[in-house]
Amino acid sequence: MSSLTTLAEEILANAKRLDEHLSSQHLSATSFDHDSLADLPSELESTRKALIDSTQTLKQLSQGPVGSSMEIIFNWTDLLSLRVIYEFKLSQAVPIEGSTTYRDISSKSGLPEPLVRRFMRHAMGNHIFAEASPDSVRHTAASRMMATDPGFFDAVGLEASELAPTAGRVIEALKRYGDSGEPNETAFSMANETALPIYQFLGQHPERARRFGSGMRFFTKGESWDLKHLASGFDWASVDRPGATVVDVGGNNGSVSQFLARSTRHITFIVQDLPGTVEQGRASLPVEFQGRIEFMAHDFFTEQTLQSPDVYLFRWIMHNWSDPYCVKMLQNLIPTMRHGSRILIYEYVLEDTPETRLTEKMGPYVSILCEFSGVVHSEKLVTDGTSLD
Ligand SMILES: C[S@@+](CC[C@H](N)C(=O)[O-])C[C@H]1O[C@@H](n2cnc3c(N)ncnc32)[C@H](O)[C@@H]1O
């Protein structure tokens, strides 16, 4: 383990590199008001990551075990103030430029002024909003983004108002169901008092389903989850010919297919998902993709009906289901596969050892792409995940 001084020197060196880049580009120093580091060239991304990781280590060492544990124990308060901002749309109640009073935010949001003040001041501790005066508020870069970027706003809502309340029920679900692997014996089902699995439940709540899709789309913007990894991780040119078809199984609103359609010329993408999601995807499909992307309602727990597509793509699907359900999904493809058909499974893969680097905690940077070719037999699918020839 490095000494505090060694860590601080590493931090200084990396911070200087980033500052030098900003000044060479005539960009202002980064701040909580304006994020000048948003579009770093890829060679500086590793510098930024190193800076974040060593800063986090330095902070935790300086805090000691009590301090760093207290931060974890109390971090529900950060999530709570953020959730209040999301639910009462406080970020939309502050002008993009300039400032407004707590009283005005209260009348716009319907939240009593003392509570507006208390929750916003708490969030300000995380640099979400700042005070322009003791009675007025202005945006910071983070709060402004909540007001101006609907995808970011949806991502905050998905995590703070959908998934965090679910996490609060995990212990109860474990005590009641253990590790049953059944999709409706979960914390989500308990949090929502439903006997339905999450996606069927969302299918009955279109606005939450829309937010889910929009939040997912936002997450693909981060370096680790960037779709460029999917584009570069498979030889798409090998299937990019007239008449080629890729089935995007569980493809949600089609954002992955849109990305792949942009980086190929001929492939037709068929996005399959549950009926409500497919309707939303179809309705929001940009005109430029008409003719390249089609939507089709299909439950992946029933047999495929599309004959012999070139590729079945499963992106971020399997991690939601226990093994028997994943096997069922794959078995349902068998009747329509021909020699040379491929199944691509794109997932995050957890390391075999614990991960302490903050930048890797949000999901490993290396996602894997499995390619199965040839005639598929269900027994092989169960027992052999690497070669099905
Ligand atoms: C985690 S999201 C992944 C979405 C997309 N593939 C992506 O990478 O952004 C899982 C998707 O599976 C869909 N889904 C869940 N159950 C399904 C089912 N039985 N049949 C088809 N799609 C389903 C959900 O509606 C959702 O769009």
pLDDT tens digits for 84-123? 999 999 999 999 999 999 999 999 999 999 999 999 999 9
Helix, strand, coil content of the chain in percent (nearest 5): 50, 10, 35
For 80-138, the three-class secondary structure string (H helix, E strand, C coil) is: HHHHHHHHCCCHHHCCCCCEEEHHHHHHHHCCCHHHHHHHHHHHHCCCCCEEEECCEEE
Active site residue 139: no
Q: Please state, in angstroms and rounded to a whole number, the distance separating the CA atoms of residues 252 and 213.
A: 6
DSSP code at position 163: I
Ligand 1 neighbour 215 (Cβ under 6 A): no
**What percent of the chain has pLDDT above 70?**
93
Q: What is the rounded average pLDDT of the residues 154-181? A: 96
Which residues face 247 on adjacent strands? Answer: 270, 312
3-state class (DSSP) for residue 298: coil
The rounded Å distance from CA 340 to ligand 1 centre is 25
Cα of 150 from ligand 1 centre, angstroms: 21
Greatest CA separation for the chain: 70
The answer, yes or no, to whether residue 204 has pLDDT greater than 60, is yes
Per annotation, catalytic residue among 34, 266, 319, 339: 319
Is the minimum distance from the CB of 301 to ligand 1 under 6 angstroms?
yes
Question: Closest ligand 1 atom to the C-alpha of 213?
Answer: 27
pTM value? 0.86
Separation CA 296–CA 61 (nearest Å)? 53
Query: What is the pLDDT at residue 365?
Result: 43
Residue 295 parent element (H or E): strand 293-297
The alpha carbons of the chain give a radius of gyration, in whole angstroms, of: 24
The residue whose C-alpha atom lies closest to atom 19 belonging to ligand 1 is 299
The per-residue pLDDT of the chain, averaged, comes to: 91
Q: What is the mean pLDDT of residues 268-291?
A: 95
Nearest Cα residue to atom 13 of ligand 1: 250
- Token pair listed for 92: 């939309």
Looking at residue 26, what DSSP letter applies?
T
* CB of 313 shorter than 6 A to ligand 1: no
Q: Judge whether residue 262 has pLDDT over 60.
A: yes
pLDDT digits (tens, 9 = 90+) for 16-73: 999 999 999 999 999 999 999 988 998 899 999 999 999 999 999 999 999 999 999 9
Span from the CA of 253 to the centroid of ligand 1 (angstroms): 9
Cβ(299) – ligand 1 distance below 6 Å: yes
pLDDT in tens, 338-367: 887 889 988 877 778 888 899 888 765 445
- Give the pairing of strands 367-372 and 293-297: unpaired
Question: How is residue 313 written in tokens?
Answer: 């793509």
Residues 145-151, mean pLDDT to the nearest whole number = 97
User: Pick from 372, 370, 331, 327: which is nearest to 349 by CA?
Assistant: 370
Between CA 350 and CA 147 the distance in angstroms is: 34
Q: Which two tokens stand for residue 157?
A: 């809502």
To which residue do tokens 């005539």 refer? 26
Is 254's C-beta closer than 6 angstroms to any atom of ligand 1?
no
